[in-house]
Structure 1
Amino acid sequence: MKYKVVDKSQAKEIAKLAVCLTNEIIERTGIKHFDVDVPLAVSLCEGYVSSGLYNVIAAFDKNKIVGFGALCESRSLYAEGTFGIVQEFYVMPNYRSQNVGKELIKEIVNFAKSENWKKLELCTPPLPEFDRTVAFYQVNGFEITGGHKMKFTIV
């Protein structure tokens, strides 16, 4: 398995995996939290990666992307500077429990260090359907900080 930062040329593969992640969340919760639009996801991913607003580290099995973590930089007073947000993290089901996710987290942490980020944050639903996901992140060094993910849709 190889891990590396991807460029715009792999945006379509990343976007398709992000759609798989979205669909998995919808399936697990039974609630359509997101609209799934593959062409839009591809277009956004290409633009974000090209502009440097979105850094994607992917896991490759030969030449096939089997997992990825997408990162954005943010700033806050509580974090005392810049930090990274793991916006999406996904490993294909047949590659789970094979240390792909664990190694991907290590690569994400190394990337964060190279950017001089103070910390990494991510969000996962605090629902029983995601207990294994939460446990995975905890085993890999993340801690629960409380709160709820909330959104306000601007129309």
Structure 2
Amino acid sequence: MNSPTYIHHASVEDAPQIAIMVGELLHEIMGVIGVAAFNFDEAQTKAQLIYLIKNDKYFPFIARDEAENYLGFITLCESYALYAEGVFGTIPELYVRPAFRSQKIGFNLLQHAKKFGKTRDWKRLEVTTPPLPQFDKTIAFYEREGFTVAGGRKLKILL
């Protein structure tokens, strides 16, 4: 039997553990796609996360069990666009450690994200997933939770 999962709005004290999980997430993605798509520096990630939390620009939620083990996390940020009718939320990261998947932890994190978005009057939540067969399970998860295709592909340019 699984122990209960607790979802909390993360604070700067959680930053070291979230940074570790960000590294796990990025290394998992790069392993799946076979491309070194991300530069990851744990100390830099932790520092950025602390800055973003302190400046109310990034909203992480963590999942922990009764023993205070970190099971996963979701991050949110606020965005603005006319096509989205104003203010909306974006999910930059959602990660559940492999040993804890299929235990509704991702679902619970997403539910907290939706509730949080409503408190900020967000019109919608958006998430980007790679349109690759390796991420079909990820896309299926979001579709089961009511997400629909918003169009386009995510592109980037380094500045």
Q: TM-score, normalised by structure 2?
A: 0.94
Q: Which runs of 4+ in 1 moved over 3 A?
A: none
Residue equivalent to 1:35 = 39
Listed as ranges, the gaps of 5+ residues in structure 1 are: none
Distance in 1 (CA, whole Å) between partners of 2:64 and 2:145 is 20
In structure 2, what residue type is equivalent to 1:107? H
CA deviation map 1:90-125 (0-9, x unaligned): 000011111111111111100001111000001110
Distance in 1 (CA, whole Å) between partners of 2:129 and 2:83 is 21
CA deviation map 1:70-108 (0-9, x unaligned): 000010101111000001110000111111111111111
Distance in 1 (CA, whole Å) between partners of 2:138 and 2:13 is 29
Equivalent residue for 1:124, pick from 111, 120, 129: 129
Asked if 2 retains the 8 angstrom alpha-carbon contact of 1:57 and 1:69, the reply is yes
In structure 2, what residue type is equivalent to 1:51? N
Matched length: 154
Distance in 2 (CA, whole Å) between partners of 1:23 and 1:31 is 10
Residue equivalent to 1:90 = 95
State how 1:3-152 maps to structure 2 within 5 Å.
3-62=7-66, 63-152=68-157
Distance in 1 (CA, whole Å) between partners of 2:108 and 2:93 is 16
Task: Quote the offset at 1:147 in angstroms.
Answer: 1.2
Distance in 1 (CA, whole Å) between partners of 2:54 and 2:12 is 6
In structure 1, what residue type is equivalent to 2:15? A
Listed as ranges, the gaps of 5+ residues in structure 2 are: none
Identity of aligned residues (%): 37
Distance in 1 (CA, whole Å) between partners of 2:69 and 2:147 is 28
In structure 2, what residue type is equivalent to 1:115? R
Q: TM-score, normalised by structure 1?
A: 0.97
